[in-house]
Amino acid sequence: MSRPPSSQTTPQFYRVSERDLTEIELHSVDSINDLHRTHPEHSHKVQQGGAIRMLTEAVRKKEAAATELSLLIQELQALRLNLTSMRGGT
C-alpha cells in the first residue's frame, strides 16, 4: 500500500539577528507597559504579590519570635523551680 503525501508541512526555521531580537524585546516591554497602563488590575496583582511576600516574611518572623519567647518562658520556669527547691532545701 502506498501512503498519500502528508498534508502537513515541516516547520521552517529562520535565523534571527541580534538586532531583531533586541527590537522584539523592546516591543515586548512596551506592550507589557501598555497592558499595565490600560489594565491596572494586572499591576495590582505584582503589588499584591510583593505585599504577600512581605506579610509572609513578617508572619515567619513573628512565629520565630513566639518560639523563642516560649523557650525563654520554659527556661524561666525551670530556673524558678530550681530556686524554689534550693530555698526549700536550706
Cβ neighbours of 36 (radius 10 Å): 14
Measured CA distances, 40 to 35, 43, 62 (Å): 8, 5, 33
Contact 36, 42 (CB under 8 A): yes
pTM over 0.75: no
Q: What are the extents of the domains in the chain?
A: 32-89
For the chain, 90 residues long, the average pLDDT of each consecutive 10-residue run is 59 77 79 74 72 91 94 94 82
Question: What pLDDT score does 23 carry?
Answer: 81
